[in-house]
A and B are shown apart, each in its own frame.
Chain A
Amino acid sequence: MKRVFPILAILTAVLLTYGLYGALIAAPTEKTMGDVQRIFYYHVPSAWTAFTFFFLNLVASVVYLLRRNPKADALALAAAEVGVVFCTVVLVTGPIWARPVWGIWWTWDLRLTLTLVLWLIYVSYLVLRRFSSSGQTPVLAAVLAIFGALDVPLVYFSIWFFRTQHPQPVIGGGGSIDPRMLHVLLINWAAFSCFAILVCWSRYHLEVLSREVEETQALESLLESGSPR
């Protein structure tokens, strides 16, 4: 496994460079939106990556509750952090694109709202982890992750109905996409996924190591206080 890490790092660097070239130069300029549309190559892959990592967090949380394996908990934490970062990228790049194209920064559209609520839930997840004392954190966080997952379909239906009741500016969706654009999009998606896996991996490793250090320190201080002077 140690070997895979540098290989993945090199692959990520190559893919990100190629993705950047594709997004800025190789991909054709969109007819009506112009160059602003190029943010799409970062926005959409970030969204897919964020959702994948939130899902990974849920799986790791359930595994933790069933098996009580501390490594699953470390993975859940790393996945949630990476997911929140990519979700933030989505929420920032979205309005930058929407302002010139829709004429508004934000609309309470289904996908936007769902992403925002997911982001809020996972930020509260990270806050909980930060604020609770070490021993019980994994269980409480895993339970909160399950609650968050249960909430997603309810949010989806509520916003869906909320928005169908009140008409909204039409969102440019569907339609066909130029194959060259799709190519760049997929390259960027692969690059972002590799990058996210890389970051999540390092974070996971760091978390496992720092827990080991903590345990060793606790053990040492216990031994010290126990030994006669």
Chain B
Amino acid sequence: MSFGIMRATLAKDLRLEWRSKDAINAMLFFALLVVVIFSFSFDPTAEESRRIAGGLIWVAFLFAAIVALNQTWARELRNQVLDAYRVSPAPANSLFLAKALGNFIFVTVLEALMTPLFIVFYNLRALGPAYQLFIVAALGTWALVVNGTFFAAMSLRTRSREIMLPLLLFPITIPALLAMVEATSSILTGEYSARFWIVLLVAYDVVFTMASLFLFELVLQAE
């Protein structure tokens, strides 16, 4: 693990994104479309919307995050940047961590911009402790992003990689998604405590962060 390389890669990715704004624009518009389509499909009362909002929010973010995740490594294929990474002595896991952090920042920005829209469209107001929503959002986003970055690198070597990423990511993400949705719903309705789900998310994050850091070298060098 090398923090210098990590910082350099992260800074490069952020600068690239800042100049092109490809990923964030595509994600934002995609999430906006999902929100609008959802609010046409479901026309809930305030009480009902509180119960289903957790699911809607996270499914919208999951779909939107796929857009950013697909670009993560595909961007490096141009000009053979990925091959340069492979032959460079930079440790693979610092590269991975930089990419995952970059995606975490993109998806967090997306969430920060989209959440107000959700609140407006669905008349949301948390009946439980609202500060826990921030914890759930941070842990949940990391859960999506850490596996997503890993599987995006895996699907890079496949035919029709854009479709491959969700096929790999969704089955593995089921427990994390369940935890995010249930935690959000229990905070919004204030009926249950969200503690178990937060603990589960922490466990999920720890397990898959470790696994990704250990196994990323294999995936990067697979040839």
Contact = CB atoms under 8 A, between A and B. Distances in A.
Given A124-B171, A133-B157, A140-B154, A147 B223 contact: no
Contacts of B158: 128, 131-133
B185 to A, nearest CB: 11
- Interface band, chain A: 20 to 34
Contacts of B178: 158-159, 162
B174 interface: yes
Interface string B82-116: 00000000000000000000000000000000000
Contact of B207 (A65, A120, A144, A150): A150
A118 to B, nearest CB: 9
A157 B196 CA distance: 10
A140 B200 contact: no
B157 A151 contact: no
A113 B222 CA distance: 33
Which one of B154, B159, B167, B171 has the greatest number of beta carbons of chain A within 10 Å? B171
Contact of A146 (B154, B174, B215): B215
6 contacts: A121-B171, A128-B168, A135-B223, A140-B157, A140-B222, A159-B175
B204 A154 contact: yes
B207 A165 contact: no
Chain B interface size, as a band, is: 20 to 34
A182 interface: no
A127 interface: yes
A146 B218 CA distance: 13
A144 B215 CA distance: 10
Nearest to B150: A147
Contacts, number: 91
Contact of A117 (B174, B196, B222): B174
Interface string A125-161: 0011001110110011001101110110011011101
B222 A139 contact: yes
B164 interface: yes
Interface of A: 65, 117, 120-121, 123-124, 127-128, 131-133, 135-136, 139-140, 143-144, 146-148, 150-151, 154-155, 157-159, 161-162, 165
B203 A143 contact: no
Interface in B137-174: 147, 150, 154-155, 157-160, 164, 167-168, 170-172, 174
Instruction: Identify whether the interface residues of A are mostly helix, strand, loop, or mixed.
Output: helix
Contacts of B204: 154
Contacts of A139: 218-219, 222
Nearest to A139: B222
A151 B175 contact: yes
Given A132-B159, A133-B158, A154-B200, A147 B208 contact: yes
B157 A136 contact: yes
Interface string B181-213: 010000000001000110010011001100100
Contacts of A158: 174-175, 178-179, 200
Nearest to B214: A146
Contacts of A155: 174-175
A48 B178 CA distance: 26
B219 A132 contact: no
B112 to A, nearest CB: 27
Rank and list the top 7 A-B pairs by shortest CB-CB distance, nearest first. A120-B171, A136-B222, A158-B175, A139-B222, A154-B175, A132-B158, A131-B158
A2 to B, nearest CB: 35
Nearest to B211: A150
A172 to B, nearest CB: 26
Contacts of B175: 151, 154-155, 157-159
Given A139-B218, A151-B172, A162-B178, 9 more contacts: A120-B170, A121-B171, A131-B159, A132-B157, A146-B211, A147-B211, A147-B215, A150-B211, A158-B179
B154 A144 contact: yes
Contacts of A120: 170-171, 174
